[in-house]
Structure 1
Amino acid sequence: MLTTAFTETFGVRHPIVQGGMQWVGRAELVAAVANAGALGMLTALTQPTPDDLAREISRTRELTDQPFGVNLTILPTITPPPYDEYRNVIIDCGVKVVETAGSSPAPHLPHFHSAGIKVLHKCTSVRHAVKAQALGVDGISIDGFECAGHPGEDDVPGLVLIAAAAERISIPMIASGGFADARGLVAALALGADGINMGTRFMCTDESPIHRNIKDAIVAASEVDTELIFRSLRNTARVARNSVSQEVVEILSSGGKFEDVRDLVAGVRGRAVFDSGDPEAGIWTAGTVQGLIHDIPTVGELVERIVTEAEALIAGRLAGLLDPVSA
């Protein structure tokens, strides 16, 4: 078994986290990840109201007795969701791990910590990771440029970002963006991380609550089949390449404004992709790691495969590179 600072601090068997993905981080997937010994994350804002989140937490507990967390993504908007109410539900329901993302977790940290909740904060740069550590979060999830969703604006890939962050971070750190298998886990550990976060890979599992057509589309796609939208708006997002994302890129590259693409990128259309199975129905997130995804296993099979093969890589191929005399 691979034991790291992350597994010890966050109380899970394996150094693997399932990212809190909008429309995807629901009870059936999260419970399967928890039962496999990794850390699953419900996505708070997938639930329409705080009361709905409370029910989803309860539903998850009916499916697992293992630890799981809740992702709370905090973004500045004109009409923000009731973040404090979602936070209070997380606390009242006795969840012990929270993944925060987006804006600073500072306003919420005292509340979570007073309830004994450990906070894993997602960052896309070393400077933000250092600031989050100074604020007192319990762990960092560092997102390389390869990741699905929002990779930040620095365009630094994981090979550099993880190592650079490891030089400055002393609390447990999870590497995110581009991870799908044992090779990635071992590489992340070598770079200084204490585990990996996977989103797109967990989308492509039997328990993932999205249409089979979308899972098949991910398996069929290569590492170059993504688009970066909102570049000119300084709000870059990596999404699957389809007719809609290509149209968004074309409009914005030609000087268009957000208002010109608002209807194309509407969240309701993105959810329709996952529900209907039509990959052209809207914008949906996927990372470059889809080029490494070739099957749709159960969550349990996937986690066991990654951990077992990682142990074999460390004890076998890598150890075999050492000169037995010098070693």
Structure 2
Amino acid sequence: MPRLRTRFTELLGIEHPVVQGGMMWVGRAELAAAVSEAGGLGILTALTQPTPADLAREIERTRKLTEKPFGVNLTILPTITPPPYDEYRRAIVDSGVTIVETAGSSPEPHMEFFDRHGVRLIHKCTSIRHAVKAERLGVAAVSIDGFECAGHPGEDDIPGLVLIPAAAEALTIPFIASGGLCDGRGLAAALVLGADGVNMGTRFLCSTEAPIAGAVKRRIVEASELDTRLIFRELRNTARVARNSVSEEVVRILAAGGTFPDVQPLVAGGRGRRVFEDGDTEAGIWSVGLSQGLIHDVAPAGELVRRIVAEARDTIEGVTELFAGGPPRS
């Protein structure tokens, strides 16, 4: 398949501008390597690994599966007991990884270290103002996350159809789009709207290599775009998760005036991890995006990358034919 070249692929030395989202508990060696081997950019999730030493071992495992570029996600969130971010940073650099995706809080505290070691930073944002700030800080690229996404969409509620072209107008560095994108039509649309590529999480949850229970994958395939819930709205920490008995209970408690301690046992990370490991989709909250309504199968990650790129090409060619006076494709 011919390369799909954009500013983003040229920046990172990859073949196609398709990035596998850095998902907690999911971004492991087999999945990241499969995406990279097919020409996309696979992403390991640093904090999925219990310690920096474990991350170094996971990076080495990935290298044994592919010689192509891959990255590491480092999500920076305020917690009671923060992870040893400096040690995770050091593990990334000492392992020779030169592509890092940051998300959550500002990447500023990490910029100098990564710059000094030649790491190209992609920062994930949910708003134009944060994207502009990230560019000003010196990141190499931005991932702009629309309201349709899984996980934390921010508090502005701006969907990709507006957010992507707004980012194209505001930024001069390469940027990729995420949220609601799962196929070649989405990639084509993102490119036309001004993005340099796409980041897909939910689509790669439904890949053969994703290290989650088959029951979760089947649930995503069977679900529609209506089967998510926005929780923590009242706390100004909105998260999009699967609609189940737990997320419904969280919404009910907070809508009735509850506070975070009232729902904390329901949203514990260990419960969400059990969903992925045991396949009990009612065990806790778990992130999934609106794009699940467009996902109809579980397939190898490499096949998905190739399918997405081929479909994007066909979609763009089909639209071009309309301007040439040809009949619309059925």
TM-score normalised by L of structure 2: 0.97
Poorly superposed stretches of 4+, deviation over 6 Å: none
1:34 to 33, 36, 59: 36
* Matching residue of 1:215: 217
**Alignment deviations for residues 205-239 of structure 1 (CA, whole Å, 9 cap, x no partner):** 11110000000000000001000000000000000
Measure, in 1, the Cα distance between the counterparts of 2:122 and 2:306. 24
Aligned to 1:322: 323
Give the distance between the partners of 1:232 and 1:145, measured in 2 at CA: 17
Residue 6 of structure 1 aligns with which residue?
8
Q: Which amino acid aligns with 2:323?
A: L
Distance 2:184 2:64 in 1: 30
Provide the residue aligned with 1:45 in structure 2. 47
- Deviation, structure 1 residue 323: 3.8
- 2:129 aligned with 1:118, yes or no? no
Work out the CA distance in 2 between the residues paired with 1:193 and 1:260.
41
Could you say which residue in structure 1 is the equivalent of 2:202?
200
Which residue type is aligned with residue 125 of structure 1?
S
Identity of matched residues, %: 68
Q: Distance in 1 between matches of 2:6 and 2:287?
A: 29
Where does residue 175 of structure 1 map in the other structure?
Answer: 177
**TM-score, length-normalised on structure 1?**
0.98
Q: Indicate the RMSD between aligned Cα atoms, in angstroms.
A: 1.0
1:63 positional shift: 1.1
Aligned length: 324
Note if 1:128 corresponds to 2:123.
no
Partner of 1:190: 192
Q: How far 1:31 sits from its partner (Å)?
A: 0.7
Deviation at residue 176 of structure 1 after TM alignment: 0.4
Distance 2:297 2:175 in 1: 28
C-alpha distance in structure 2 between counterparts of 1:320 and 1:270, whole Å: 47
- Whole-Å separation in 1 of the counterparts to 2:166 and 2:235: 27
In the alignment, which residue of structure 1 is the partner of 2:102?
100
**How many angstroms apart in 1 are the aligned matches of 2:239 and 2:185?**
26
For 2:85, the equivalent position in structure 1 comes to 83
- Give 1:324 shift: 6.2
Query: What residue ranges of structure 2 are gaps of 5+ in the alignment?
Result: none
Other-structure match for 1:139: 141
CA distance in 2, matches of 1:310, 1:175: 15
- 2:59 corresponds to: 57
